[in-house]
Every structure is written in C-alpha cells, then in structure tokens.
Amino acid sequence: MDAYTGFAEVYDLFMEDVPYEDWSNYLKEILREYGIKDGLVLDLGCGTGVMTELLAEAGYDMTGIDQSEEMLEIAAGRKEKSGHDILYLCQDMREFELYGTVRAIVCSCDSMNYILEEDEFLGILRSAAHNYLDYGGLFIFDLNTEYKYRELLGEQTIAENREEGSFIWENYYDEEEMINEYHLTLFIRENSGYYRKQEEIHYQRAYRLDTVQKLVEQSGLLLLHVYDAFTRDPVRADSERIHVVCQRKTPDTEIQKKTENG
C-alpha cells in the first residue's frame, strides 16, 4: 500500500472535479439516519483533509488518519485556515489506533481498494467491530467495483496537462488477480518555473460483493446496506462504485443472536 508522495502536491488540483460537497452530504444523511448528528468521527484514509473539513463544518469532532506525511501536511494547512479542531494522525490504516471509541468511521475515495489482501481488509473491519466503534456506531466505506476496473479503466492511458502540474496515468487491470495497477508520471511545477518529473506506481484491488459480505460477517460487524454509490438503490451489474454501511452490534443484538441460535 504505497503512500502518495509527489502526487500529494497536485492531488487537489486533479481532484477538483470531485463533488466533495455532495459526497459529504450523502455521508451525513446516512449518519443522521442512525442518530449520529455529532460526536467523534474518524475519517480513515483522509488524504488532504477535504472530506474531514466538510464533516467538521457539519459539527462532527473529527480525527483524520493517513499514512502519507505529504497529504497530512496539506490537511494541516487546511485546518489552520479553517480553525477546525481536527486531530490528524500519521498511521497505516491497516494498523490504525485511536485513543478511544468513535461514533462513526468513514472511508472515502476508494481508499479501501488500496487494501490488497483479504486478511488486511478483514483486520480493518475487526478493529472497527471490536476496538474503536461505539456500540451501534457506523462504518461507511466506498469501493470501486470490478466493473469499473475491467470495463472503464482497463488498459487505458489518461493524461492531463495544466500550467500548475501535469500527469500521465497508465492503467493496467489483471482480471485474474483482480489487481488494478497504475503508473503515474508527474510533472510538478517548481517556484523557479521549471517542472520536476516524478514517477509512482499504485495498486488497488477489486472486491466482489459476495467477498465484501463475507468479510463483514467474519469481522463481527452487522451489514446494514450495500448501495449503488450516492444513491439508496441496490448495486447494479454496471455500478462503478458502491457504498457499504456497517454497524457495530450492540450487546442486545448479540444476546438476541445467541437466543435465536439456541
């Protein structure tokens, strides 16, 4: 799971078309549906802190975790401007640790696709289920789908050229291993006006819906919903992104389950 390094400097520039406001509204709608209108919330894989800031603005007491120091430096600058009381922690999300429990965990922008091994994916879910979520708390994450990697990204080359910075994205998808590999060639403008070239390789994994359901069940979380992203509709064969909504079981839920099982 590679950290963003040079790309952190131009990440927000090339993500400016992402409708973060709409994304945050969607998350807030789900959180409030389950009575989570305030309190501690963790943004796992927070990147440069855009979503973290939007949730803080909505009244949540935010913690952001990312393993990229470069991303967190940008997030810290954003925090200084906004004045929001956000705690940022530089940690690998596969081994994240908190000082206590939170009411919810959100993980956006396909961060969970960077988890390449099922046991590591399961470990994150188990940490939420047994260590860091309040009883009844939610874990909401999104995933790019196998359809998107296979049909839309596939063997493509994507490039953007701007004065502030440019990149070339060469994409490869291994259908058998379900691993999406993309090579980034970055041209980052320096103060001198010259451009610095930097290269990175990133890997993401596609997870089939039945695999996600199995891992959530094994973790001890309760799977509430799997949506076609940013809707309340069921997942379709051509869904490009899905949202998974899980909940930490309450003691009453566990007692009921044991009673039902005799």
Specify whether 110 is located in the same domain as 170.
Answer: no
Specify whether 63 is located in the same domain as 73.
Answer: yes
Confidence of residue 256 (pLDDT cuts 50, 70, 90): very low
* DSSP for 180-244, written as a single string: EEEEEEEEEE-TTS-EEEEEEEEEEE---HHHHHHHHHHHTEEEEEEEETTSSSBP-TT-SEEEE
Confidence of residue 128 (pLDDT cuts 50, 70, 90): very high
Q: What is the pLDDT of residues 175-225, one digit of tens each?
A: 999 999 999 888 888 888 888 888 889 999 999 999 999 999 999 999 999
Residue 1 belongs to some domain of the structure: no
Q: What is the pLDDT of residues 85-122, one digit of tens each?
A: 999 999 999 999 999 999 999 999 999 999 999 999 99
CATH number at residue 139: 3.40.50.150
Write the DSSP symbol of residue 38.
S
Specify whether 30 is located in the same domain as 106.
Answer: yes
Number of domains within the chain: 2
Pick the residue with more confidence: 136 or 195?
Answer: 136
pLDDT at 233 over 60: yes
Specify whether 45 is located in the same domain as 104.
Answer: yes
Pick the residue with more confidence: 90 or 10?
Answer: 90
Specify whether 46 is located in the same domain as 107.
Answer: yes
Specify whether 88 is located in the same domain as 139.
Answer: yes
Domain boundary among 190, 205, 220: 205
Contacting residues for 40 by C-beta, under 8 A, at least 6 apart: 60, 61, 63, 100, 101, 102, 103
pLDDT at 16 over 90: no
Domain range enclosing 166: 148-205
CB 118 within 8 A of CB 213: no
pTM metric for this prediction: 0.90
* DSSP for 109-178, written as a single string: TTGGGG--SHHHHHHHHHHIIIIIEEEEEEEEEEEE-HHIIIIIISS-EEEEE-SSEEEEEEEEEETTTT
